[in-house]
């Protein structure tokens, strides 16, 4: 029988060696608290046209259905906060997480190395790695593991570093020493709620995804519905408003990931250059970027929309 405490230390040491900023561990099991919340969120159609959120309901709540025999969920945070900024104040804005290479590609590679390393250290273990691409309630698991709390804007917040992080998980069939959740430090602050232009944060801790600028500019493939004119504040891919105003993000530190560094051409583009972008430039500029999710037609739709209301 191995020492769970020592095994957990080995896991966390390896996480930090690979560049993850925070690592926490939870016991794998059914997420009882989250089940009714998720059900109500879906019933109220707060996922909009994101129909994939309706799939695999049970798997979203129970990691043992994703990894048979799962005993532990290893939650990880990877910083993406950039020092770089878009240089033209009037240029259409993209979310900070999309400045560099698509995080799925960067972090998946790290998770593969992580899993291989654990197998070398612990022998043949069963497990799967996830980074925002499977039915895993990553924020719920991160909260349970104590690496942050879920704020009123529904983002995971860390007391030392804020919320500009990607979340990832390893679900494994080895028993580790579980950490516990931390307090909620939002207090009486409502800055994120007050700042949201589309009133997507309908009450503390509840975000109507179908009203979110990120949803409109990335997930929604149809035309943007009427009634949201003059509310996008020039965001053309994603939105950082609720994070930018969060007091905890005054502690954000610059990331150390070269693959997240934005190309100068992107940062220097002015409004006219954005609006005149052709498909050849789009494919070159965003070849390895998360912005590809919107597609060229989607980005042009967004650009047309913000120009129409500007």
Give the number of C-alpha atoms closer than 13 A to the C-alpha of residue 60, restricted to the C-beta side.
Answer: 20
Beta bridge partners of 22: 77
Number of Cβ atoms within 10 Å of the Cβ of 135? 18
Collapsed DSSP state (helix, strand, coil) of residue 256: coil
Pairing verdict, β 93-94 and 235-237: parallel
Which of 58, 90, 116, 132 is catalytic? The answer is: 132
Active site residue 194: no
Closest C-alpha to 100, from 236, 228, 290 = 290
Cα-based angle 191, 194, 196 (whole degrees, multiple of 5):
105
**Counting beta carbons within 10 angstroms of the beta carbon of residue 291, is it exposed (0 to 12), middle (13 to 18) or buried (19 or more)?**
buried
| Cα–Cα distance, 181 to 50 (Å, whole number) | 29
Q: Are the CB atoms for 31 and 140 separated by under 8 Å?
A: yes
For residues 235 and 94, give the distance between their C-alpha atoms in angstroms, rounded to a whole number: 6
Where are the strands (E) in 22-181, listed by range? 22-27, 72-79, 93-94, 127-130, 149-150, 156-157, 165-172
CA distance 62 to 55: 13
Whole-angstrom distance, CA of residue 167 vs CA of residue 223: 30
Residues annotated as catalytic (active site), given as ranges: 132
């Amino acid at each position: 029988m191995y020492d769970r405490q020592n095994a957990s230390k080995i896991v966390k040491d390896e996480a930090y060696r690979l560049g993850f900023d925070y690592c926490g561990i939870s016991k794998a099991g059914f997420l009882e608290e989250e089940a009714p919340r998720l059900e109500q969120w879906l019933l109220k159609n707060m996922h909009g046209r994101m129909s994939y959120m309706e799939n695999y309901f049970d798997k979203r709540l129970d990691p043992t259905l994703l990894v048979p025999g799962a005993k532990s969920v290893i939650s990880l945070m990877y910083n993406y906060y950039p020092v770089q900024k878009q240089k033209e104040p009037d240029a259409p804005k993209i979310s900070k997480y999309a400045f560099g290479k698509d995080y799925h590609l960067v972090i998946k590679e790290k998770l593969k190395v992580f899993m291989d390393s654990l197998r070398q250290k612990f022998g043949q273990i069963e497990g799967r790695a996830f980074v925002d691409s499977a039915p895993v309630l990553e924020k719920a698991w991160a909260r349970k593991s104590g690496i942050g709390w879920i704020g009123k804007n529904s983002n995971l917040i860390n007391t030392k570093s804020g919320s500009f992080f990607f979340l990832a998980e390893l679900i494994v069939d080895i028993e580790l020493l579980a950490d516990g959740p931390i307090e909620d430090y939002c207090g009486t602050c409502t800055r994120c709620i007050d700042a949201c232009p589309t009133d997507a944060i309908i009450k503390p801790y509840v975000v109507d995804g179908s009203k979110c600028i990120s949803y409109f500019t990335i997930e929604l493939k149809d035309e943007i519905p009427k009634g949201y004119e003059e509310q996008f504040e020039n965001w053309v891919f994603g939105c950082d408003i609720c994070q930018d105003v969060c007091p905890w993000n005054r502690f954000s530190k610059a990331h150390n990931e070269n693959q997240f560094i934005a190309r100068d051409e992107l940062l220097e583009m002015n409004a006219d250059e954005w609006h005149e972008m052709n498909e050849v430039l789009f494919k070159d500029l965003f070849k390895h970027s998360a912005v590809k999710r919107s597609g060229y037609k989607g980005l042009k739709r967004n650009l047309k929309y913000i120009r129409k209301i500007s």
